[in-house]
Chains A and B, each alone.
Chain A
Amino acid sequence: MLRYALKRLLSLILSLAVASVVIFAVIEIAPGDPASFMLGVNAQADTLAALRAELGLDVSKVERYFNWVGGMLVGDFGTSYTYRTPVSQMITDRLWVSLPLALYALTLSTLIAFPAGIYAAARRGKPGDLAVMGATQLGIAVPNFWFAMMLVLIFAINLRWFNAGGFAGWENGFWTGLHSLTLPAIALALPQAAILARVMRSALLDILAEDFMRTARAKGLSRRQALWRHGVRNALIPVLTIIGLQFSFLLAGSIIIEQVFYLPGLGRLVFQAISARDLIVVESVVMLLVFAVIMVNFLVDLAYAAVDPRLRSRT
């Protein structure tokens, strides 16, 4: 297990290193010098040079790359070009919106998908199964930002149960904050729930066909007992991977949903930074998102290997 973990850790570090080079390179190709963008076209040459020095733009590209990566390793993400505040501070502020939103959506999607998937598998081929499968087909086809607009139309504009957008802030109480994240979380969760329910169903159907399920029934367990004690527990393995993958989809997907609801999260930060040519912010946020995805996948792999020793020998 230790060897496996070390091997995975090595590939994790390698992935992160390559990812950082790619992100840095893409941003470097971006046309426009941040300093001249900030000062406008009429800037004096010496003012420009001073600002470039202040922003750390006057050193070579390689040096800049290592400054950036080295800084991130100790939690220093640099200073925003436009706001002149530490990027780490900006990211932390926005994470307080984006992270709870992703977790909220993940919880909702799991709460919807588990019962739906188990129900469908237990009633395979019957009308209940067909209804669930039809609903999931539809759920996958719905663009989440459109669904978000429909939620706003129904629950904010017509019924007035929620605000159409904006974030109330956690300082006004946990429930107030949660309330303003509810519609965005539902919009994010539903398409993911549809996928998860399908995975749950098919994983469970595979398990139900196994010999040990017949054995469980033969030793006197009822259908329901066998389903829960042996079926659902075993089906959780593939389902957990998908949940891990979904977390990254939710973080990334929230970028668009934050636009619909005007939420001050990471997604809006990226868009604002892009239009202001605040490249250091873009770079760091994208790197952070990639880090989160790679990290989640790493943890899922480890959790797997801990649960199922057979997986350690593979790869």
Chain B
Amino acid sequence: MSRNLILGAALSSLVLLAALVSFVWTPYDHAALNIPAKLQPPNTQHWFGTDHFGRDMFSMIMVGARTSIAVALVAVGIGMALGVPLGLTAAARKGSWLDEVIMRGNDLVFAFPSLVIAILITAVFGAGAINAIIAIGIFNIPVFARITRGAALSLWEREFILAARVSGKGAARISAEHILPNVANLLIVQGTIQFSLGILAEAGLSYVGLGAQPPTPSWGRMLADAQTMVSFAPHLALIPGLAIIVTVLGLNLLGDGLRDWLDPRIRVARA
């Protein structure tokens, strides 16, 4: 196993653990105001300091991890749930009008600047975590459709698929029983990468006020709140930013590591 994989898995599990533990325990109540203790820099009582309402930053970061992970994970889920069947269908019906429609549709979604459309969607349908998930999720669909189709196309040329066809299996059954398991590795790797992009997108949307709404803590909104206070309380901006970086870095390293680990050809080529 590579260093990337170990470091990535460690960082990602750290964030995941923080999110999970926050359901049962946080050092303080993340929403409890404590004005006398406001704007404290990191210290022994408040490991990450306190914000302008005296809320404990460490607790807020832990609960914020929950929001980030939930939004990004569901967005990846949407992308996979719709994109993978589309990609499998396009590959199974290669060259048909169906393939053409699916792929042109993909190109079209790719042509939209995703952030602009995410802003449009959240602006039209209202700001909130659910709409942020949908906005991010839509742009995951063509990513998964394209990668699935690409991998499936080369599989359809293989002999074991021919054998399955000879034995009388239909295209749908072959896609589900033989193609899907063989593209699963690829999907896991891409899923990790889209997950990290989702975390960044969620942070961006929350930062401009279109993501999760108060009182749900989110890293992006913590940064927006910190902006006017960055000159006298830099920890307010530093800590949520570092949380995002650790998460995204961890997931990217995990994705890279998984790709090398799951694909023996690359392992040999790199050695």
User: Quick check: B116 and A255 within 8 Å, CB to CB?
Assistant: yes
Chain A residues, CB < 8 A from B54? none
Q: How far is the CA of A260 from the CA of B241 in the complex (A)?
A: 14
User: Quick check: A149 and B241 within 8 Å, CB to CB?
Assistant: yes
User: Quick check: A146 and B108 within 8 Å, CB to CB?
Assistant: no
A15 contacts partner chain B, Cβ-Cβ < 8 Å: yes
User: Quick check: A157 and B124 within 8 Å, CB to CB?
Assistant: no
B176 contacts partner chain A, Cβ-Cβ < 8 Å: no
Chain B residues, CB < 8 A from A137? 249, 252-253
User: Quick check: A149 and B249 within 8 Å, CB to CB?
Assistant: no
Chain A residues, CB < 8 A from B112? 19, 290, 293
What are the 10 A-B residue pairs with the smallest beta carbon separation, nearest first?
A: A252-B113, A146-B241, A141-B248, A141-B249, A274-B123, A30-B124, A252-B115, A157-B231, A141-B245, A294-B111
Chain A residues, CB < 8 A from B227? 149, 260
User: In residues 112-169 of chain B, which contact A (Cβ within 8 Å)?
Assistant: 112-117, 119-121, 123-125
User: Quick check: A140 and B248 within 8 Å, CB to CB?
Assistant: yes
B39 contacts partner chain A, Cβ-Cβ < 8 Å: no
Chain A residues, CB < 8 A from B107? 15
**Interchain residue pairs with CB less than 8 A apart (19):** A11-B104, A19-B108, A29-B124, A30-B124, A137-B252, A137-B253, A138-B249, A141-B244, A143-B207, A143-B245, A145-B207, A146-B244, A149-B227, A153-B230, A248-B113, A255-B119, A286-B116, A286-B120, A290-B112
User: Quick check: A146 and B237 within 8 Å, CB to CB?
Assistant: yes
Q: How far is the CA of A137 from the CA of B196 in the complex (A)?
A: 12
User: Quick check: A143 and B204 within 8 Å, CB to CB?
Assistant: yes
Q: Interface majority SS on A: helix, strand, loop or mixed?
A: helix
Count chain B residues whose beta carbon lies closer than 8 angstroms to a beta carbon of A.
38
B234 contacts partner chain A, Cβ-Cβ < 8 Å: yes
User: Quick check: A143 and B111 within 8 Å, CB to CB?
Assistant: no
Give which listed residue, A15, A140, A141, contacts B108 with CB less than 8 A. Answer: A15
Chain A residues, CB < 8 A from B108? 15, 18-19
User: Quick check: B245 and A252 within 8 Å, CB to CB?
Assistant: no
A142 contacts partner chain B, Cβ-Cβ < 8 Å: yes
A150 contacts partner chain B, Cβ-Cβ < 8 Å: yes
A162 contacts partner chain B, Cβ-Cβ < 8 Å: no
Chain A residues, CB < 8 A from B237? 146, 149-150, 153
Q: In the complex, which residue of chain A has the Cβ closest to the Cβ of B251?
A: A141
Q: How far is the CA of A145 from the CA of B219 in the complex (A)?
A: 12
A170 contacts partner chain B, Cβ-Cβ < 8 Å: no
Q: How far is the CA of A15 from the CA of B107 in the complex (A)?
A: 9
